[in-house]
Amino acid sequence: MSDSQLTLDDLCINTLRTLAMDAVQKANSGHPGAPMGLAPAAYALWTKHLTHNPKNSAWPDRDRFVLSGGHGSALLYSLLHLTGYGLTIEDLQNFRQWESKTPGHPEYGHTNGVEVTTGPLGQGIANAVGMAMAERHMAATYNTDEHTIVDHRTYVMCGDGDLMEGVALEAISMAGHLKLGKLICLYDDNEITIEGGTEIAFTEDVAARFEACGWNTIRVADGNNHEAIDAAITEAKGQDEKPTVILMRTTIAYGSPNKGGTSGAHGSPLGEEEILLTKTNLGWPYTEPFFVPEEAKEVFGTCITKGEAAEDEWQARFNAYAKAHPKRTNQWVDGVSGFLTFGWDKEIPTFTPEDGKIATRSASGKVLNSIAPNLPGLIGGSADLAPSNNTYMACSHEFQNGAFDGRNIRFGVREHAMGAVMNGMFAHGGVRPFGGTFLVFADYMRPAIRVASLMKMPIIYVFTHDSIAVGEDGPTHQPVEHVAALRAIPGLTVLRPGCASETADAWRLALKITDGPTAIILSRQGLPVSDRSQSEGSVPSGAYILKDTEGTPDAILMASGSEVHISVEAAEKLAEKGIKARVVSMPSWELFERNQQNYKDWVLLPEVKTRVAVEAGIAMGWEKYVGDKGTVISMEGYGASAPGGTLLEKFGFTSDNIVEKTLALIEKNNA
C-alpha cells in the first residue's frame, strides 16, 4: 500500500475521531474515549468488510453491526453520517439533545442504521449472538443447493465493561456451543474503566475465556494499526466453524496528549483546549469543529455504490429463487415482514369445563403445538425447563450446529442471555421468538425485557410456576412480587390467564401484539376450565365479567390466574347467603387500561364500593381497582415449603376466606 493511501486512511480515521470529540464537546456530555480508540477498527470494518447498503438499511441480507458499548454512540453516528445513512452534520451537532436523531445511546427504530438499542452493557453482544442465530436459521431453512438468499455476517464491537457483565459470558458460551462461524466480535481492549485501569477488578485472560467457550481468537497488538485489523477481519471471515473474537489492544482517547489512556477520557468531554492539542497531535490541519475533508467524504461515500451493487446482485439471486421456489418465497416474505401466515390459529383447541382441571402451563403447551405447524417463523425454547414450561414444538427438531433449521432452541440455564438473544433474533428479522422459564427467574431477564419494551419488540415470554402453589420447592422458587414487577415495565403486556380457555386467548393475543413484548403467566397446578357461556366481555379487553348477578351486585370479586376459579366458588357461596357478587376475571391490566372509560365503568361498576381483589402475589397496584373501600387478599411476605394446596389454604387463598373477607367488608361499608 502506498504512503499516499496510508495518509488517506489516516485522514479518514481522524475524521471519525474529530467528529466524535466535537460532538461530545458541543453537548458537554458523552464518551469521547472509546470512539477515538476504536476509529481505526471502525474504518477498516465499515469501508472494507461490512456488506451494507446505506440507501436501504432494511435490506434483509446486509451484514449486521452492533455497538455493544452503546455509550460510544458518537462513533456510530459519525459512521452513519459519513457513509450515507441520512444523518446530517446538524444531527451530529445536536448530539444528546431533545428530539435529536443522535441520543446518548443508540436507539432501535429512532435512528436509521441502528440495528439494536444498546444501553446496558453486555446486552449488545448477546443481541449479536441472537442475530447470528437468526441468520443461521434463515439460511438453513430457505437456502438451497442452487440458490442462496441468506448469507451474511454479524459484527459486534464490545469493551471491557461488556465482558464483565454476566449476560455477555452466557451469550459467549451459547455462541461457542452453537459454532456460530458468521459471528465476529471486535474487542476494544483499552484496559480502562470508569474507576480506573482494569487491573483493579478485571485481570482474567480474556482470550482464554473465549477459547474455553469454543471461539477462535486473533490478537492485534496495536489497535491503531488499521491494516492489521483489516487482516484480522479477513482471517476471521475465513473461519466458518467457530465464532471469532479479535482482541485489539487500543488506547482510549488515542491522540489526546493529556487524557489519552486514562479513565478521564471515558465519560467526559476532553475540553476545548485539549481538543485543539489532540487535533494538532493527530496532524489534523483543520480548526473548524465538525469539519469533514472532501477526500474522506469520497472514501466513505464508496459504501453507497458498493452497497447498492451488493443489493442489486442479491436481488437478482432472490428473483431467481422466487421463480424456482414460490411457496418458500411466500413463507420467507411472511417471516421477514412479520405477517401472521393465513390460518396460523385455525387449530387452536377449544377447552370446556368438561375437560376437568388443566394447568395453564399444560394448556399453553397444547396451544403452542397447535400454532407451530401453521406459523413457520415461530421459534423458541426454554432456559433448560422445556418439560416444565411445555415450550417444545413437536413439529420441529432442535436448533443446533448442523441442524440450524430446527425451531426448538436449547438456551441452557442462561435466562440473562435468553432474553437478550431473543431481542437480537427479532431485530435480525424473519423469526418470531419466544422463551420460557419459571416466573421467579423473570428477574434474571428483566434488563432484556425492559430493552425489548423500549424497542417495542413483540417478544413472547412464557413464565410458569406462577405462585406459592409451586409448593415444596419453597420460597426461593415461589414468586411473590414478580407479577407486580413485570406490570411496572412500560410497554410490556402481562397476561395471567385463569384457565385453559383464557390461555388459548392469551396466545392469540400475544402473537397479534406487534408494538411490544408480552409475558404469559402460567400455573403449575391444575385449574378448572371456566364456564364462559354467560360471561360478558372477553380476554382481549383485559378484564371482563365472568359471572354476574341479577341487578346491581352487592360486591365485586376480581382476580387473575389461578385465583379466578376460587373467586367463582366464593361468589356461589355468597349467593347462598343472599349476597350478590359479580366475578371479574382480570388477565391483563394493560389491556384493560386501553379501554374507553365507559367499558371500564361497565365492568367495575363505580357505584359498587365493596370490592375484593384476589391474587397470590403482592397487593401493589390493585388499590387502583378496589378503591378506598375495598380490600386485597394477597401475599405480603414470602411463601414456605409445603404442598401447594396446603400453602394456598394457609395463606388464605380459599373460597371460604374470600367469603369471610367480603362479608366483613360489606358490614364495614354499611356501618
Q: Which residues are catalytic?
A: 415
User: DSSP of 76-108, one letter per residue?
Assistant: HHHHHHHHTSS--HHHHHTTT-TT-SS-SS--T
Cα(341)–Cα(512) distance, rounded to whole angstroms? Answer: 12
74 vs 16: CA distance, rounded Å: 9
Sign of CA dihedral 486, 487, 488, 492: positive
| One-letter amino acid of 252 | I
Residue 90 one-letter amino acid: E
Closest CA to 19 of 252, 264, 227, 293: 293
Spatial contact of 253 and 32, defined as CB atoms under 8 Å apart: yes
CA angle 248, 250, 254 (to 5 degrees): 155
Q: Which residues contact 558 (CB under 8 A, 6 or more apart)?
A: 543, 567, 583, 584, 585, 586, 604, 611, 612, 613, 614, 625, 626
Which of 503, 544, 500, 34 minimizes the C-alpha distance to 268? 34
Query: C-alpha grid cell for residue 552?
Result: 346491581
478 and 440 Cβ atoms separated by less than 8 Å: yes
Question: What single letter denotes the amino acid at residue 13?
Answer: I
- The CA-CA-CA angle for residues 275, 276, 281, to 5°, reads 95
349: left (phi over 0), alpha (psi -120 to 50) or beta: beta
| Distance from C-alpha of 425 to C-alpha of 130, rounded to nearest angstrom | 5
CA 629 from centre of chain: 40
| Separation between Cα atoms, residue 37 and residue 474, nearest integer Å | 50
DSSP β-bridge partners for residue 463: 437, 521
